């Protein structure tokens, strides 16, 4: 199972008195009052070998579904346009680590019929939404094989009356818009040099973008051996104890 952190415990069964989340009448006003930047970054303050470990989004690139990893290292809300988030991060594809910068632009918020992993009192007060957005992530043009990622993104989150925000997470394979992990990106990558395009998708849980592949990712009843057809497509990287995110300098691209 590919994931950036352990999945939350299965929430208690919802109760009938949980209020429905109302629609957002004024999306810009909501975003001005509730900064979603930490959620897009999915900063869970994880530690690994003494280093702060960013949330790694896993997914696929191209028709073969070759493995790709993405981290959003910095997300800043635009002061003048609260629906625009300026981002920096890095991709890892076939051992190449490439910095990028770009934007995530929220276009809509809708009520979400989901029950966040909270205690019963908080869950009864939580309002749950899914944010839909466009993203443009431009890799460092001086890097070999660089290009631009464009597409749509989904963010499933909850809001508590005190203002606390959090990702809505369920077990991988959930039918929530973002697939259970809270974040999902789908789109295309286009080469700067050739203009060639490839389909790409990445999420907190790779099962959200590759549900069929996950069924035969391993061989054997207990899943001890990675299926060779996925090993050759770099999926073994997802289980390697390789702190690639800590070894490469952070991108120097300006927001």
Mean pLDDT of 86-112: 93
Residue pLDDT, tens place only, 134-154: 999 999 999 988 999 999 999
pLDDT the model gives residue 148:
97
pLDDT the model gives residue 216:
56
CA distances from 198 to 42, 66, 116, 137, 229 (A): 26, 11, 34, 14, 20
- Greater confidence (201 vs 223) lies with 201
Residues contacting 179, CB < 8 A, separation 6+ = 172, 173, 203, 204, 205, 207, 208, 209
* Residue 45, pLDDT above cutoff 80: no
Burial label for 103, CB within 10 Å (0-12, 13-18, 19+), is middle
Q: Is 60 helix (H, G, I), strand (E, B) or coil?
A: strand
Inter-residue contact 126 to 158 (CB < 8 Å): yes
Confidence of residue 250 (pLDDT cuts 50, 70, 90): very low
CA distances from 250 to 5, 80, 85, 89, 245 (A): 22, 26, 18, 8, 9
Residue pLDDT, tens place only, 163-203: 899 999 887 767 899 988 899 999 999 999 999 999 999 99
CA 60 to CA 42: how far, in whole Å?
A: 19
């Amino acid at each position: 199972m590919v994931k950036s952190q352990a999945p939350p415990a299965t929430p208690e069964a919802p109760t009938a008195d949980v209020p429905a989340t109302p629609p957002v009448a004024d999306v810009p006003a909501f975003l001005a009052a509730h900064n979603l930047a930490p959620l897009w970054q999915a900063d869970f303050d994880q530690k690994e070998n003494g280093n702060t470990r960013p949330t790694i989004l896993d997914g696929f690139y191209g028709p073969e579904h070759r493995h790709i990893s993405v981290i959003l290292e910095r997300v800043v809300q635009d002061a003048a346009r609260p629906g625009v988030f300026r981002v920096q991060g890095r991709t890892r594809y076939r051992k190449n680590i490439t910095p990028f910068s770009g934007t995530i632009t929220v276009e809509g918020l809708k009520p979400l019929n989901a029950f966040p992993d909270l205690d019963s009192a908080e869950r009864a007060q939580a309002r749950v939404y899914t944010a839909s957005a466009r993203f443009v992530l431009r890799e460092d043009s001086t890097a070999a094989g660089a290009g631009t990622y464009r597409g749509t993104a989904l963010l499933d989150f909850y809001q508590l009356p005190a203002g606390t925000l959090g990702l809505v997470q369920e077990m991988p394979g959930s039918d929530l818009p973002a697939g259970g992990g809270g974040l999902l990106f789908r789109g295309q990558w286009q080469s700067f040099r050739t203009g060639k395009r490839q389909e790409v998708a990445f999420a907190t849980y790779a099962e959200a973008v590759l549900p069929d592949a996950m069924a035969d990712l391993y061989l054997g009843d207990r899943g001890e051996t990675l299926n060779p057809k996925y090993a050759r497509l770099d999926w073994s990287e997802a289980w390697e104890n390789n702190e690639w995110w800590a070894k490469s300098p952070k991108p120097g691209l300006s927001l």
